[in-house]
Structure 1
């Protein structure tokens, strides 16, 4: 089987080709085309197939991670959305949960009100009412629906969200509204809550369905262009897109429910980091995926993805009640711009130079200093070997940019560059602590896996500051998210609200609910061409103690629902509650709220062939000489003589003593003074953050460099 993974970042589009027959792995990067990301994706697929000496038609599967939906929400440039809802509930989106970002401030914007997904004038109501038991109290006024549809069409709305009360119990009225809209307003993109999110919680459901409508038209056009472009090039396999829950969506599923793609890109990086950590022998990993625009931080204990709590599944200020892997994204990347604000404060990011014009050293018209320029100024990125020598950097332009910044700070260009990197490292450290220490995890029990084009440049300093004993840099760190797309199984998740108590459970009804969802999952897996022995169906139940307001996800066993099944479910929930809240209440009854089914298509395990073994001392061919590089030594910024290596020529067992810089096609690895690194059998570079070279040796190297010795 031949597979391609494509991850579109803010600066570069990363691709990986894997052939299971001959265990061949190829990687490729191409500049992202922000005006239409599908252009870079299709170009990259063609180039990668030429590198593999194969035709696109021979590719069996294409997996894709994208930030297009996230960018639409963050940049507030989605569709003009209308809404049809139950009479009296027009302002659910405006009122929200009556919570303010800053509880005691009278001077603040409420972002969901300042940037409404649906403006009030386009939120229209119709007479109808379904009760909580599914019975109809007020019949649907179909004439009112037609009037609303015509009005939204006249107002120029591109998409319509349909959110009626208790439609997750009885979708009959929403189905009628959809039919009328298709008659009166056929060109509109429709987002119907009973199809997109058949779950309870009216505000979260309204917000999620409105978000789906907001991003829907642009995502639909993008997916259609990409899917069509692949088919034109002969790719016979169906396109699959990564979802926020680390599952996949077909093109049709992505067009109908694009809200599930909101964290598509960052999730793939976490999956790739878990895979890389496992290859290096670490099950507990913190992933640091730093690209040109942002840094994504995730945590996995025992190799298992952590899911966000329901209250935390937001994108920007908007609630999105969808399953979402716990990933934190901050505006810190290789293209992050360093600047001094009007008040004299020094900032780095979140604004990025992106791919166009890019950092000043790219010589594409950019003049603002970025993190990449800071690395070039300090000598940590060799300008003649960037992207494996495929792109030359202009160090004099980086120096000019950092010099202008230094003048504003009354310091040298080198100190301004070191300061910019220190600010970025501090931001990454803070985010990692928020996702580990503050959630009860000790970083000393984890390895830090560094990915992205910029991650390995910062990882050793971040790891030393956070306290992770080891830093793992995978063989292909610059495309860790693309690797994650191929390292995961195909997963589809289906959900339905179902209320019942464990003590008085209607076992037959719950069995029917699972059976219907399981059939949906199996049907989709069969359409993907998977054999029965590659299909796995998993059950998940959202539970809570009676009287609680929020639930926890609990894995449930398959098979017949009997007394033993219920005892195991209860024990699993008590354990999950104790892990999350440090308390368990076994005397309390448990309420089931939602039932979920995950259809898993098992994929061939992604395997990298082991690299050739060598001695502790790297071969002379791998050593590219010594250069003077700026590092902090004993709290002072000094020039230190630094070894440079070609990572592609390193062998298993080679040991590297810092300070050292390892260059490769998709990234640059920095090993600071005082730290050591070793290459393992899988080709990972493992940096030891617990010790290393003695301070006296570092000082000697610094003195030698200052004296001009070689």
Structure 2
């Protein structure tokens, strides 16, 4: 029996096949096929010697949803709102994220005003019906939507979080009258207040719904043709798996489907290696992403801003707390109108790809710069399956960057420009790590850096040196790490409910009632989506002092007492703000949320390690000309990772190659192979000695 995972990224598609009988994992890595993304997955399964017909289940992560949002490639969508409230989506919030930018403009809403419709009804904030739903208006509304040729409809009515009856009725009536049109209700996605965020979430769900439904259903059909008869699930942005039927109804839950797998795997390694605080850093072909893992756990944020908080729009759905920057192996180096060197966010992707791929690309990329400086080998990339053209890389760097900057295109100039491209990419990625650590009150030097993705290991030591981090960990199979994390993921359901209750006896009784309702709802959802009972429940409350706007999140077990909640709230408040307000100020709960997780079988981390059998002689290495900042080009050892036994030590500068990635050990750094196959790098003291 086999378990299969597939992670489709902007440049590469990564596949893992876990053979339960043999107890080991095989890997595949192919270029992403934009004509039909499933082709890349099928090719990857074949490369990993997997068989779809033998798979018990397949889990899939994709960047399809986030790409649709960022590129504005979605459905023609309409919004139905309570009469008088159709402009909530455009009004948004009155705050100014960039206070001194007088020319700042938000991105336009996903639904233009001409496609925002209204219906007569009104629900009060306590759930009472103030004005009955005017069902006689639905016929004309459906006709107007049909005339507008919309592909999807989002229904988001005022205060429906407190009583969803009107919203659900409108959605049902429109579904019956608009066959072939994707209809979504906001309360099916969020039962929390914040009308703007709920409306935005519903609009976003409808915007990508038709395309994701076609994609997921087409994916499932194609797998069936390959003989697959197991269960097919998608990787949710909350860190759990979700059946593909559920993903069709809630595609916004896939907004960060791709990166989450790597963070799940990073948290497992952090626990196994005894690392209390870790920055999980993933550099792929298009972007670099980072997240914090503390005590083996990662944070999930409740509101995700597509396009960033300054200009984007919110999605109220649990999403891994991640910071992302447009700096990957395929990120294009270019010169702007002011004559400044820039890297990204545009990427060459897999079609045509970097200039060195020889697939028609002419723009220089981070991968081209790495090849020019000897940091990756022209004949060893992807195990030699994709030979790289160093001359094409040098030519692209010289023509597109060196000459416009005034350096020319001779060998010395090209080397200098390539180094500048890599330095700028490193600075961009270091900025993302600072954003998720320093900007949030953490000392980045207290963390270890766990790097993965095809490009993470080659930049890990340089990033650590720049940030003052002393330890870098490179797990086995870093280039397939996100796909590995999907093997380790569990079924997960996140539910939330708004309630406003103080810590009095009456308030605690209201909280207990909602607690029971959420637990029952979570059990029903688990049975419906996964056919099993949840193994664990984790509870959180959003709390604040009465009269405040912002909240802190407090974790608790079971049914808490008022004293327990107050103590937990004050501890969390003091950690965030450095003080508490005292006994004269009353805390209150404004939201309750539960995370229910399953307990599916998964491989041990030791199965990921590809360690050599004991040998009488030490492993041998080759040499390659490698550019070191303080020395120029030097002859550096190049080791095969599969040849390195546990305890083997390497002094930098050196290169360690494997099928899916390349590890660069900087001058002055030392690396040791650990028992799980991980390589731990200790960063030297010389800040100028990095490779």
TM-score by length of 1: 0.91
1:369 counterpart residue number: 364
Question: In the TM superposition, what is the alpha-carbon distance from 1:23 to its structure 2 partner?
Answer: 2.3
- Residue 147 of structure 1 corresponds to 140
Answer yes or no: is the 8 Å Cα contact 1:78–1:215 preserved in 2. yes
Matches within 5 A, 1:162-311: 162-308=155-301, 310=303
Counterpart CA distance in 1 for 2:505 and 2:365 is: 62
The Cα shift of 1:21 comes to: 4.2
- 2:600 pairs, out of 579, 598, 603, with 603
Q: CA RMSD in A?
A: 2.4
Number of the residue aligned with 1:489: 490
User: Separation in 2 of the partners of 1:182 and 1:308?
Assistant: 32
Whether contact under 8 Å (1:240, 1:249) holds in the other structure is: yes
Q: Distance in 2 between matches of 1:98 and 1:507?
A: 33
Distance 2:240 2:573 in 1: 25
Aligned residue number for residue 641 of structure 1? 635
1:591 matched to 2:592: no
CA distance in 2 between counterparts of 1:90 and 1:612 reads: 61
What is the 5 A alignment of 1:27-426?
A: 27-48=27-48, 51-52=49-50, 55-111=51-107, 115-308=108-301, 310=303, 313-316=305-308, 317-404=312-399, 405-411=401-407, 412-426=413-427
* Contact residue 280 and residue 472 of structure 1 kept, 8 A: no
Whole-angstrom CA distance in 1 between matches of 2:395 and 2:617 = 37
CA deviation map 1:265-311 (0-9, x unaligned) = 1222222222233444423111110001000011112121123364x
- Residue deviations 1:645-683 (CA, integer Å, cap 9, x gap): 111111111111111111110011111212111111111
Say if 2:1 is the partner of 1:7. no
Distance (whole Å) between structure 2 residues aligned to residue 611 and residue 535 of structure 1: 32
Q: 1:397 to 1:147 in 2, by over 3 A?
A: same
Aligned counterparts of 1:477 and 1:90: Cα–Cα separation in 2: 47
Partner of 2:429: 428
- Secondary structure, aligned partner of 2:536: strand
> Cα deviation per residue 1:299-353 (whole Å; 9 max; x = unaligned)?
112121123364x644540111222221011000101111111220100111111
Counterparts in 2 of 1:508 and 1:110: CA distance versus 1, 3 Å: closer
Q: Retained in 1: the 8 A contact 2:246–2:529? A: no
Q: Could you say if the C-alpha distance between residues 577 and 14 of structure 1 is closer, same or farther in structure 2, counting changes exceeding 3 Å? A: same
Deviations 1:454-508, CA, capped at 9 Å, x for gaps: 1111111111111111111111100111111122322111222222222143555
2:621 aligned with 1:623: yes
Give 3-state SS (helix, strand or coil) of 1:322's partner: strand
Equivalent pair of 2:402/2:414 in contact (CA under 8 Å) = yes
Residue 653 of structure 2 is aligned to residue 659 of structure 1: yes
Alpha-carbon distance in structure 1 between the residues aligned to 2:109 and 2:532: 46
Cα distance in 2 for partners of 1:298, 1:628 equals 34
Q: CA deviation at 1:94?
A: 1.1
Cα drift, residue 612 of structure 1? 5.1
Q: Distance in 2 between matches of 1:427 and 1:217?
A: 35
Q: Which runs of 5+ in 2 are unaligned?
A: 408-412
Matches within 5 A, 1:521-540: 521-527=522-528, 535-540=535-540
- CA deviation vs aligned residue, 1:139-162 (integer Å, no higher than 9, x gap): 222222221221111111111111
Contact 1:622 1:650 (C-alpha < 8 Å) held by counterparts: no
Aligned to 1:681: 675
- Partners of 1:693 and 1:164 in 2: CA distance: 57
User: Is the contact between residue 471 and residue 687 of structure 1 (CA under 8 Å) also seen in structure 2?
Assistant: yes
Change (3 A) 1:35 1:593: farther
Offset, 1:577: 1.8
CA displacement at 1:77 relative to structure 2: 1.1
Q: Compute the displacement of 1:447 (Å).
A: 1.0
Contact 1:8 1:41 in 2 (8 A): yes
Does structure 2 retain, via aligned residues, the 8 Å contact 1:436–1:443? yes
Alignment CA distance shift 1:409-1:313 (3 Å): closer
Shift of 1:520: 3.2
* Paired residue total: 679
Distance 1:530 1:575, change over 3 A: farther
Relative to 1, partners in 2 of residues 1:121 and 1:531: Cα closer, same or farther, differing over 3 Å?
closer
* Equivalent residues of 1:657, 1:675 under 8 A apart: yes
The answer (yes or no) to whether the contact 1:82–1:123 under 8 Å persists in 2 is: yes
250-259 or 96-105: which moved more?
Answer: 96-105
Shift of 1:75: 0.4
Tell me, yes or no, if the aligned pair for 2:465 and 2:687 is still in contact at 8 Å.
no
Classify 1:669/1:612 alpha carbon distance in 2 versus 1 (closer, same or farther; 3 Å).
Answer: closer
8 Å CA contact retained: 2:493, 2:595: yes
* Alpha-carbon distance in 1 for matches of 2:521, 2:225: 30
Cα distance between partner residues in 2 of 1:594 and 1:385:
53
CA distance in 2, matches of 1:35, 1:582: 53
Cα offset, 1:125, TM superposition = 1.1
Query: What is the aligned partner in structure 1 of residue 541 from structure 2?
Result: 541
Within 2, Cα distance between the matches of 1:130 and 1:527? 29
Distance 1:582-1:99 versus aligned 2 partners, 3 A rule: same
Note the C-alpha offset of 1:250: 1.4
Cα 1:569–1:18 change in 2 (3 A) is farther
DSSP 3-state at the match of 1:548: coil
Alpha-carbon shift at residue 531 of structure 1 (Å) = 5.9
3-state SS of the aligned residue for 1:323?
A: strand
- After TM superposition, the structure 1 stretch with the greater mean CA deviation from structure 2, 389-398 or 131-140, is 131-140
Q: CA deviation at 1:230?
A: 2.6
- Residues 442 and 492 (structure 1 numbering): CA distance in 2 closer, same or farther, change over 3 Å? same
1:20/1:568 Cα in 2 relative to 1: closer, same or farther (>3 Å)? Answer: farther
Asked if the contact 2:332/2:363 (under 8 Å) is kept, the reply is yes
1:249 CA displacement: 1.8
Q: CA deviation at 1:226?
A: 1.6
| Alignment check: 8 A CA contact 1:70 1:315 kept | no
Judged with a 3 Å threshold, the aligned counterparts in structure 2 of structure 1 residues 385 and 46 are, in CA distance, closer, same or farther, namely closer
Deviation (angstroms), 1:579: 1.9
Partner SS, residue 426 of structure 1: helix
Instruction: Find the counterpart in structure 1 of residue 410 from structure 2.
Output: none
Which deviates more, 36-45 or 491-500? 36-45
Return 5+ residue gaps in structure 1 as ranges.
Answer: 703-710
Mapped contact 1:377–1:414 kept (Cα < 8 A)? yes
Separation (CA, whole Å) in 2 of partners of 1:556 and 1:102: 36
